[in-house]
Amino acid sequence: MQGRRVLVAALASLALTGAGLAMPGAVQAADGDITAPIPCPEALPMADAVDGMEGIGFTVERGTTPEPFSAKILGRIQDGILPGVDMIMAEIDSPAVERAGGVWQGMSGSPVYTKDGKLIGAVAYGLSSGPTSIIGLTPGESMKSLVTGGSSAATVSKTLAGPQKIAVSKAQASTLAATDEVTASQASAGFQRLLIPLMTNAKGRMFDRLNKSLSSRLSGFRLVSTGSSAAATQAAEPEQVVAGGNFAAAISYGSLTLSGVGTTTMVCGDEVVAFGHPMQGVGRSSYSAHVANAVYVQPDSLGFPFKVANLGGVVGTVAQDKNLGIVTTLGSGPTVYPVISKLTGPDGTAQTTTTQLTDPTWMDYVAANHVYLHAVKVMGSDGSTGSGSLSLRIEGAQANGTTYTIARKDHVSADDYFASYYTDEVYYPLEALVWQQFQKKAKVTRVVVSGTLTDTSAKSTVSAVRVLGANGYGTLPTTFNTLPTTFKRKPGSTIKLRLTLKSESGAATYAYTSVKVPTAASTSKATGTMKLTTGKSDWYWENLYSDSINTYPKLVSAIQKARTFDEMRLKLTLVKTSGTTVSVTTLTQGSTVIAPYSLTKKITVL
């Protein structure tokens, strides 16, 4: 470990001259070594990063001020990152690295310079066997090409799929083992891309739910629970973004924060390059760029240590999510897609919460979890019995710019985990809209949910149905087998039904619905059926994926017309003597969930 002690000693000397650490320009000690990050450095040619070269890096362990760490180059893995882009191996050291037990998640993007200030590369990879001081750098020359006007040398390769794992040869494993930081066996496992700590303000079981659903959606992230995200909506200045400092890219912020945290590599004018690897690797992107304040680096005995940070204000737009890093334009933030919930809890207290979404492809996930977190908050528990009204408004735009609005009302009830069932009615229609294949550029632009929630279940079942006749309500048979041959009505007449609804406590209430027989010109002597149905099954939303829904407008219409838990639907289907069919449906919504029920009766029009 003698080599490491030498590196630490060098750092101690460096720290004595580091009073100007956060200054925007290069600061050099008397011996010529830099003592502060360089905003927009000259890049070292990748081929010049050779075994034995010493360097200086900067990153943040706590707070916002970059601190130095030493680096020693251990060679390169040719084409390790992409064709034409080598991965540079290095050993790093500093008191912060020793406290953490090695490189940490959230260190991605930390710049490493030569002693005279050329950018060797940015921290982006760690050994697959676990955290050590052995890291992989994305070459500075390649990252500099991401800046507008930069070298085009990596233009072709940077658009290819970047790796999450990088293999090492036996010779390279031996080189790594010679550092005494790892064994040859551990080194032979290769390198892996450092996970991005994805900050969220969810806590407890709400965090667990979010984490489970996130893991099934994509890789490359580690969900981390952090403090309040209130600062994310406050003003911040682009000047707060510095090389070696914290950098955050948010998928959403506000009531539900999902923000990847890493490190700024360079600031060239109004362009910022960070991370040294992709966030999602989507190419063109629109995340909001934020400053961040590191709370601490959390050691992890079972895996990599990780940074915990609080999100700060918006300082720009992450416009490119490339395989060699993310690129931000400082200034205005991106277009946001609001998710708003207005819920009144059992105690009568009304609350309104808002999440700003920056990537509309996450609308289903973010909107549903936003509503879930809010419902749990007003209910006081995520596993409780409950019921409530639900008003859902979805605004969106088709690929050609044509806008639409879906407005739905319903009631939801559950004996346990009410918040989950309530959220499902938001998630499933949005899931269909986000993942549809009809119009790739169509998107949901705004979601508003409102409702009044109680801590009691409210479900009813149909116990009797009666029809209004000449002498008031008469009995309507409840099974097909006992129906008379025909149920006769005149054209233009109205069939009125009264349903007896029995609650879970046994109390009975009435609900009414009706349907009008079309005029004689349309239906004289027609025959057919009258069908009464109530409620819907828990699996109803699967119907959105039927073959008959084969265009985006049809999908929007299907969601608007979708059944509800509280509905009574009365449908006449009549076949005229000419053979053509006439159909008419009346939809009535009640004030509570009605269990699924179906009754069909034959009818003849006189």
Predicted structure pTM score: 0.86
Q: In whole numbers, what is the pLDDT of the chain averaged over residues? A: 87
The percentage of residues in the chain with a pLDDT greater than 90, rounded to a whole number, is 66
* Whether 152 and 108 share a structural domain: yes
| Predicted local confidence at residue 250, as pLDDT | 96
Place of tokens 């998107």: 443
| Predicted local confidence at residue 478, as pLDDT | 46
32: CB partners within 8 A, 6+ apart: 115, 116
CA 523 to chain centre: 52
The residue range of the domain holding 325 is 196-330
What does the pLDDT look like over 401-410, one tens digit per residue? 999 999 999 9
Could you report how far apart the first and last alpha carbons of the chain are, in Å? 100
* Whether 26 and 112 share a structural domain: yes
Rg (CA), the chain: 31
| Predicted local confidence at residue 8, as pLDDT | 44
Q: Which of the four pLDDT bands, split at 50, 70 and 90, describes residue 423?
A: very high
| Predicted local confidence at residue 538, as pLDDT | 83
Domain count, the chain: 4
Query: Cα(412)–Cα(391) distance, rounded to whole angstroms?
Result: 11
Q: Which of the four pLDDT bands, split at 50, 70 and 90, describes residue 248?
A: very high
| Predicted local confidence at residue 406, as pLDDT | 98
Which one-letter amino acid corresponds to residue 556? Answer: V
**Residues 117, 37 contacting (CB under 8 angstroms):** no
Whether 500 is covered by a domain: the verdict is no
Residue 314 CB burial class (10 angstroms; 0-12, 13-18, ≥19): buried
Coil vs helix vs strand at 177: helix
* Whether 349 and 319 share a structural domain: no
**Residues 226, 295 contacting (CB under 8 angstroms):** yes
Whether 462 is covered by a domain: the verdict is no
What does the pLDDT look like over 338-397, one tens digit per residue? 999 999 999 999 999 999 999 999 999 999 999 999 999 999 888 789 999 999 999 999
**Residues 606, 491 contacting (CB under 8 angstroms):** yes
Whether 468 is covered by a domain: the verdict is no
| Predicted local confidence at residue 452, as pLDDT | 97
The whole-number average pLDDT for the span 22-40 is 67
| Predicted local confidence at residue 202, as pLDDT | 83
* Structural domain ending residue among the three candidates 274, 299, 330: 330
Do the bridges between strand 337-344 and strand 325-330 make them parallel or antiparallel, or are there none, so unpaired?
Answer: unpaired
* Whether 386 and 363 share a structural domain: yes
What does the pLDDT look like over 321-344, one tens digit per residue? 999 999 999 999 999 999 999 999
Helices (H), 345-385: 363-379
| Letter string b/e over residues 477-516, b meaning 16 or more CB atoms within 10 A of that residue's CB | eeeeeeeeeebebebeeebbbbbebbeeeeeeeebebebe
* Whether 398 and 355 share a structural domain: yes
Higher model confidence: residue 359 or residue 211? 359
* Whether 204 and 277 share a structural domain: yes
**Residues 240, 291 contacting (CB under 8 angstroms):** yes
**DSSP state string for 517-585:** PPPHHHHTT-EEEEEEEES--TTGGGGGGSTT--SHHHHHHHHHH---TTEEEEEEEEE-TTS-EEEEE
pLDDT above 60 (res 307):
yes
437: CB partners within 8 A, 6+ apart: none
| Predicted local confidence at residue 157, as pLDDT | 35
* Whether 37 and 157 share a structural domain: yes
Coil vs helix vs strand at 548: coil
Give the DSSP letter of residue 596. Answer: -
Q: Which of the four pLDDT bands, split at 50, 70 and 90, describes residue 162?
A: low
* Whether 172 and 230 share a structural domain: no
| Predicted local confidence at residue 12, as pLDDT | 44
What residue ranges in 108-214 does DSSP mark as E strands? 111-114, 119-127, 134-139, 165-166, 191-193, 196-200
Q: Which of the four pLDDT bands, split at 50, 70 and 90, describes residue 475?
A: low
| Predicted local confidence at residue 156, as pLDDT | 34
pLDDT above 80 (res 600):
yes
| Predicted local confidence at residue 268, as pLDDT | 97
Q: Which of the four pLDDT bands, split at 50, 70 and 90, describes residue 153?
A: very low
| Predicted local confidence at residue 211, as pLDDT | 84
pLDDT above 90 (res 559):
yes
CA 85 to chain centre: 30
Asked which of 125-129, 197-201, 226-230 is least confident by mean pLDDT, the reply is: 226-230
What does the pLDDT look like over 173-204, one tens digit per residue? 888 988 888 888 888 989 999 999 999 988 77
CB atoms within 10 A of CB 47: 10
Coil vs helix vs strand at 2: helix
Residue 254 CB burial class (10 angstroms; 0-12, 13-18, ≥19): buried
The percentage of residues in the chain with a pLDDT greater than 70, rounded to a whole number, is 88
* Whether 489 and 571 share a structural domain: yes
* Whether 136 and 224 share a structural domain: no
* Structural domain ending residue among the three candidates 136, 170, 193: 193
CA distances from 345 to 6, 315, 327, 367, 454 (A): 62, 36, 43, 19, 6
What does the pLDDT look like over 263-306, one tens digit per residue? 999 999 999 999 999 999 999 999 999 999 999 999 987 789 99
Whether 544 is covered by a domain: the verdict is yes
| Predicted local confidence at residue 371, as pLDDT | 96
* Whether 43 and 145 share a structural domain: yes
* Structural domain ending residue among the three candidates 142, 161, 193: 193
